[in-house]
Chain A
Amino acid sequence: MSKKIICLFIISSFFFSSCTSWHSLRFETESQPIQFGPHLQMTKLDTLGVISGISTHNFEEETYSEAENVSIVFQGTDEVQENINTTIYRALYDDPDHFIADGQIVVEVEHGISWGAIFLSMLASKITDEESDVGSYNIESIYYNGIVYKIKSKKSADEK
């Protein structure tokens, strides 16, 4: 009996296993650096403010069965909340002395199913007497936090 339960666990884990899809956050700027970790400058800096944003990737796996065929549908969408790149580029656009450092990245993953979606798909399949859908989803989010700095010109540093 216990062997059957173990086998059921292993088979079920394979059934529910998600394929790995990578979600990356890339930055491209004209010349300004976006540095990870603390700034290492020995020159004096002005702190201009904190910058943050979220980039989310939602990947849905929909498995549905018909009478004779079994098909798998993969759907993925990228959603960049608060438009992190635009915000960062806007902060850097006006002044070539601006750069971002003290960067911190928080990543979050989620794998699951929506009870509501399953309930509705079961209801729909009962009414229409057609195929039933069971949906699962993967969400990968990257949160970015950094500080915008400006290198003080020698003149303004001397004045102070």
Chain B
Amino acid sequence: MKSKTSIILFSFLLVISISLNSCSVGALVNIKAPEITHPVSHTTNFYTRAGELITHNQYEVIKSFSFSFTKWGVSSVIEIDREADISDDLNDLISDNNGDAIVELTISVGNSPANGFTFFTKMVSFWSSLIFIPLAIAESSSEYAVIGAASVVIYTFTPAAADINVKGKVVKIITR
């Protein structure tokens, strides 16, 4: 009788504590370009290596570019920071087009449609842990304990994907 009361109390507290939070999947991605060889600017202007300021009327646009990629990570109960190095992509764009710099670099982020599926998996593991952990305690069953523990692990480490889009313009300085 005492154990039944504690199970009900445990389940009640579990539901209350979880209901105060939200259930979500997330990803955290650090976008870097530590190895770039030419100036890359978010605005229309850039400084050359020699410290000369180049404005929009001192260069010609060679090519507008846009590329996207998806990066997986974990950011919900715990956060795992993933890195995306886009140095090579930017260097290749400049060298392939014989450019001097990149201007108007815009980085965009979006939730990947795959997050809908991982979110559903997390929901299933949530309800599974809610059912099997109290059952494992009540019936001292190792099978229920394994399912409950696996559900908690899945719930904690469910990944998500970030869709990242990089846009910009490769430019060449007009020599006078």
Counting residue pairs across A and B whose Cβ atoms lie within 8 Å, the total is: 190
Task: Kindly provide the distance from the CB of B102 to the nearest chain A CB, expressed in whole angstroms.
Answer: 8
Contact status B111-A109, CB under 8 Å: yes
Contact status A34-B117, CB under 8 Å: no
Q: Which of B3-11, B28-36, B140-148, B149-157 contacts A (4 or more CB under 8 A)?
A: B28-36
Known: A17-B113, A21-B110, A37-B36. Contact between A119 and B19, CB under 8 A? yes
Q: How far does the alpha carbon of A111 sit from the alpha carbon of B120 in the complex, in Å?
A: 11
- When distances are taken between beta carbons in the complex, the residues of chain A under 8 Å from B50 are 41-43
Contact status B109-A23, CB under 8 Å: yes
Contact status B116-A107, CB under 8 Å: no
- When distances are taken between beta carbons in the complex, the residues of chain B under 8 Å from A27 are 42-43
- When distances are taken between beta carbons in the complex, the residues of chain A under 8 Å from B116 are 13-18, 111
Q: How far does the alpha carbon of A35 sit from the alpha carbon of B43 in the complex, in Å?
A: 8
Contact status B45-A33, CB under 8 Å: yes
Contact status A29-B19, CB under 8 Å: no
Residue in B closest to A43 when the chains form the complex, CB atoms: B51
A24 at the B interface (CB under 8 A) = yes
Q: How far does the alpha carbon of A39 sit from the alpha carbon of B164 in the complex, in Å?
A: 23
Residue in A closest to B52 when the chains form the complex, CB atoms: A43
Q: How far does the alpha carbon of A157 sit from the alpha carbon of B49 in the complex, in Å?
A: 17
- Given A18-B113, A43-B51, 11 more A-B residue pairs with CB atoms under 8 Å apart are A9-B117, A9-B120, A15-B120, A16-B116, A31-B45, A104-B30, A106-B81, A107-B162, A108-B26, A111-B119, A141-B109
Closest 8 pairs (CB-CB, A-B): A112-B24, A43-B51, A17-B116, A13-B117, A37-B33, A110-B26, A16-B116, A107-B109
Residues of chain A having any CB pair with chain B under 8 Å: 9, 12-29, 31-43, 96, 99, 103-116, 119, 137-142, 151
14 residue pairs of the A-B complex, CB under 8 angstroms, read A14-B116, A18-B113, A22-B108, A22-B163, A26-B42, A34-B42, A40-B38, A41-B47, A43-B50, A108-B26, A109-B75, A111-B24, A114-B22, A141-B109
